[in-house]
Amino acid sequence: MNKFNRRTFLKATAAASAVAAVPVYLNFSEHKKVASEAPLKKVWTQCNGCSSMCTKAVYSKNNRLWKVEGHPLHLKAGGRLCARGHGVAIDVYNPSRVDQPYKRVGDSFEPISWEQANAEIGEKLTNIVDQHSGDSVLWVEHGPRGKFYADIFLDLIGSPNYCTHYSTCFTSKTNVWPKMVGSSLAADHENADYLLFAGRNFAGGIIPNGMSKIHKALERGAKLVVVDPKYNEMAKLADEWIPIRPGTDLAFFLGIAHTLISENLYDYRFIGRHVHGFYEFWEANKTADADWAAEVTGIPAETIRRIAREMAAKAPKAILEPGWHGLHAHYANSTQTAQMNVIVNALLGNFYKIGGLYPAQNVPFGSVDRKIPRFKRRGDRADGAGVAGKYPTVEPGRGIAQLTPKLIEDGTIKAVFIYHYNPLRTAPNPEEQKKIKNAELVVVIPTDWNETAVYTADYVLPEHYYLERTEAPRNVNGHVAHIYPQIAIRQTALEPIHNTRHLKDIIDGIATSMGYEGYFDFTLDEEVEAALTTIEDVSRERLYEEGVIEFTSHFVEGIPSEHNTSTGKVNFSVPEYAEHGFSGFPTWVPPATWPKAENEFRLIHGKQPWHSHSVTSNNPYLLEMTKKYNGEWMWMNAIRAEKLGIKNGDVVTIHSSVSTKQAKVKVTELLHPDCVWVANSYGNYSPRQKNGYGIGVNFNDFLEVMVEPMAGGTNCQEIIVSITKGVS
């Protein structure tokens, strides 16, 4: 052992003196040397590997990270962490982190001081607001973690334009559920007897405790059915994998609903008492039976009927999983598909039932005392979300992120702030997104040199890494039903290693330089304390100490007599849609495009369990897994590949209306013949991210910028590609 330690240590010291060349791995000997005498420190904080924000223990010595572990109580972690949870922790040492503020000079960046950055940005922004009004300023972020501070900033400027990435993600779901049910309900997987997963991959877009719960259900004898064009990671555990023609899930759900209704297998008491628009829906869909659905989906009619009957037999402990995106909501029929999720579950009568669906449990938080900005008149949102004549049914609180370059091009938006978001990689058509650069002022607030920072920023203002910062506490909920409310906190686990700042201080710096002083005069500790004033017996210290606190439950099984919707009922037909000329209830809407020619495919995508979109695309550890398992290869069905003369590992040229690129092919039996599949984590094109640069392709490379008119989505699987062997 000693020999190993000593040798590696010598090498590590040599590397450490040439700072830029420090390899991005933790070295045990080095760690031991710096840390052996120091006490082991354990701090609870929240993960940033995905939106589940699992609470995890961070072990360190002398401010040097050792390892992380899941919090046993946390609803999403359940004591476990996925690969991404470990990987993003190590990225605190990634050389691609932005180490201090920078300013663009030509095609490169010059380091500047925070003071200079604040002064210059403040002056430019003041001029833009004076000339074009606050309406010309846009704040866009992953959402909604910066919202509390961003709202203060936008209030000071007088801008209505707070925008999240949601339109490029789960907007169909978040649009539909409040209008149809009043809130989103989560599935009680653990206690269900029948789980239908269609358009949801718990084992790819991982919630660790969600998977533990699935295993518990399976051990109890629950049935798991996975409907997906790709044999996803969940399918491996399923009783049945049912490959469906991509884009036709809506027809499958209509077929299920038709069977439930025509065979009188639905919960007519729930429908009679709590549903608005049932007959409208049924009248319009009377011909959408299982035989019709079989034609559209390629799933045999008997299978569709059998699944409906099996589910009815297990109802109300039978669930069509509510999905992350509102199921396969990646098409022109996204909103209707998401609507069918509500309808199928309502027909099964599983609302507000153990083993069915129920709402998130919350604890209300207090808010810090602060100076409130004077109200400024502002115009309509630039992206048209919630605006009559534009996108009236899209939620104004979330916006339409993919339109940012267009709004800059047509002159509506002059200044953009992009926080914790990388539209150049995660929004459609990167060449289009690059035009964000043309705004008069682009300020990017990242932690690393992602594509958006490199190609569009005038100023790059780095935030502390998630392990280095404290944030206000939050409720733990969503996607996994739970009757006990929980709160959790992100707190500083490692002292900042670069010249970075907390988001609050970044915004305060700019606001102050514009003359808006004193609007952020509170400390993080005060914010945390203020949040907890509404909760008895929970001090800041206790929350820091325990990481997660669980409360007693006020949940009672039973359907509320009033639902928080426009009719007070569960809306099978949504009046808000009907008012604006859309159909209030879903009927069959085909995808906008179909593959036709011999070498045409629909390009679909999904999560790979060890990556999280572009966030982890430069992580050296997770990329080793990619290398080991050919994770960046594009999947193609074996029969289709044979017809095109393509063999496993061959390079092919992929061509869409937007671009032409090359990728390697994985020839597989595990995919529907109509499509090719890529993981959504690759195609990194930031030259400052050396590990990930140039690996694989991304579906966004091939996607046109579109807006689904009802919910604002990107129709991100409306991509037809033609594929030829070799480089052409």
Partner 1 sequence: MAKFGMLIDASRCTGCGACQIACQMQHQLPPHLQFNRLEFRERGKYPNVRQEIVPVQCMHCDNPPCLHVCPTHATYKRSDGLVLVDHRKCIGCKYCMTACPYDVRTLNDDRVPEKCKFCADTVVQGEEPPCASTCMCGVRTFGDLDDPNSEISKKMAKVDVYQLITEKGTKPRIYYVKK
Where does this chain bind partner 1 (CB under 8 A)? 1-4, 7-8, 11, 23-28, 31, 66-70, 78-83, 85-87, 89-90, 203, 206, 208-209, 211-212, 215, 231, 233-237, 241, 243, 609-610, 620-625, 628-629, 637-639, 668-671, 673
Angle subtended at Cα 49 by Cα 625 and Cα 173, rounded to the nearest 5 degrees:
115
For the CB of residue 79, give the shortest distance to partner 1 in the complex, in Å: 7
Is residue 288 packed enough to be buried (19+ CB in 10 Å), middle (13-18) or exposed (0-12)?
A: buried
Nearer to partner 1, 412 or 616 (CB): 616
Least distance to partner 1, CB of residue 19, Å? 18
Task: Identify which of residues 382 and 676 has a Cβ nearer to partner 1 in the complex.
Answer: 676
Rounded least distance, CB 139 to partner 1, Å: 34
Least spacing, CB of residue 25 vs partner 1, in Å: 4
Sheet strand arrangement including 102-105:
108-111, 102-105, 459-460, 441-445, 415-419, 137-141, 162-164
Identify which of 593, 592, 591, 571 has the alpha carbon closest to the alpha carbon of residue 583. Answer: 571
Q: Measure the CA–CA gap between 443 and 458, rounded to whole angstroms.
A: 6
| Minimum gap (Å) between residue 354 Cβ and partner 1 | 23
Which DSSP letter does residue 237 get?
G
402, 510, 501: which is closest to 152 by C-alpha?
A: 510
Alpha carbon distance 267, 261 (integer Å): 9
Question: Least distance (Å) from partner 1 to the CB of residue 669?
Answer: 4
Least spacing, CB of residue 434 vs partner 1, in Å: 31
CB atoms within 10 A of CB 213: 24
Q: Tokens representing 670? A: 């595990």
Q: Between 11 and 273, whose beta carbon lies closer to partner 1?
A: 11
* Complex with partner 1: residue 242 or 319, whichever CB lies closer: 242
Question: Is the Cβ of residue 292 or residue 621 nearer to partner 1 in the bound state?
Answer: 621
Q: Closer CB to partner 1, residue 86 or residue 165? A: 86
Least distance CB 606 / partner 1 (angstroms):
13
* Least spacing, CB of residue 634 vs partner 1, in Å: 16
Place of tokens 């789960």: 170
C-beta closer to partner 1: residue 212 or 512: 212
CB 166 within 8 A of CB 143: yes
Residues counted in the chain: 728
Tokens 């206790």 belong to residue: 542
* Cβ proximity of 622 and 662 under 8 Å: no
Radius of gyration over alpha carbons of the chain, in Å?
26
- DSSP code of 715? -
Under a CB-based contact definition with an 8 Å cutoff, are residues 728 and 652 in contact?
no
**Choice between 22 and 559, CB closer to partner 1:** 22
Q: Are 87 and 622 in contact (CB under 8 A)?
A: yes
Q: In this structure, what token pair is assigned to residue 392? A: 């009236």
Name the residue nearer to partner 1 (CB basis): 6 or 286: 6
Least distance (Å) between residue 211 CB and partner 1:
4
**Cis-peptide, bond into residue 144, ω within 30° of zero:** yes
CB of 302 to partner 1, least distance (A): 15
Task: Give the whole-angstrom CA distance, residue 446 versus residue 462.
Answer: 5
Which is nearer to partner 1, 81 or 344 (by Cβ)?
A: 81
Nearer to partner 1, 4 or 279 (CB): 4
CB–CB of 347/253 below 8 Å? no
Q: Beta strands of 607-674 (E only): which ranges?
A: 634-637, 651-655, 660-668
Task: State the alpha helices, DSSP H only, in 465-559.
Answer: 503-513, 524-532, 540-546
Residue number, 42 or 236, with CB nearest to partner 1: 236
- The dihedral through the CA atoms of 202, 303, 186, 672 has a sign that is positive
Q: Please state the closest distance from residue 301 (CB atom) to partner 1, in A.
A: 16
* Pick 67 or 390: Cβ nearer partner 1: 67
Could you tell me the two tokens for 129?
Answer: 């607001």
Residue 272: which residues within 8 A CB-CB, separation 6 or more?
Answer: none
Tell me the closest approach of the beta carbon of residue 371 to partner 1, in angstroms. Answer: 44
CB 490 within 8 A of CB 445: no
